[in-house]
Amino acid sequence: MLFHAMEAARVDSVSQVIAVGDTPLDLQAGANGGMRSVVGVLSGAGKRKTMEPEPHTDLVDSVAASPALLRSKYGVS
């Protein structure tokens, strides 16, 4: 699914992609796809105890925290 989204957005490189998800499978997919960053959101289906063991670069309490993370870590406005 991540690669289909990349195709639709005409993004050629996983180094340009930050995957964000709220389940352990979302984190696994982002890591397995080699995405630049894999962000877990804890306000959705996944809980900290199930998300923390999965590969990720960041965990945020709420999707509302995502813009601040993107600005501070990646300079995305």
- Rounded to whole angstroms, the Cα distance separating 11 from 63 reads 23
Residue 49: the pLDDT is 95
Given a cut of 80, is residue 76 above it in pLDDT?
no
Range of the domain at 35: 2-74
Tally the domains of the chain.
1
The reported pLDDT for the residue numbered 54 is 96
CATH number at residue 57: 3.40.50.1000
Give the integer Cα–Cα distance in Å for 70 and 50. Answer: 23
pLDDT in tens, 34-57: 899 999 999 888 899 999 999 999
Percent of the chain, pLDDT > 70?
99
Burial of 38 (0-12, 13-18, 19+ CB in 10 A): buried
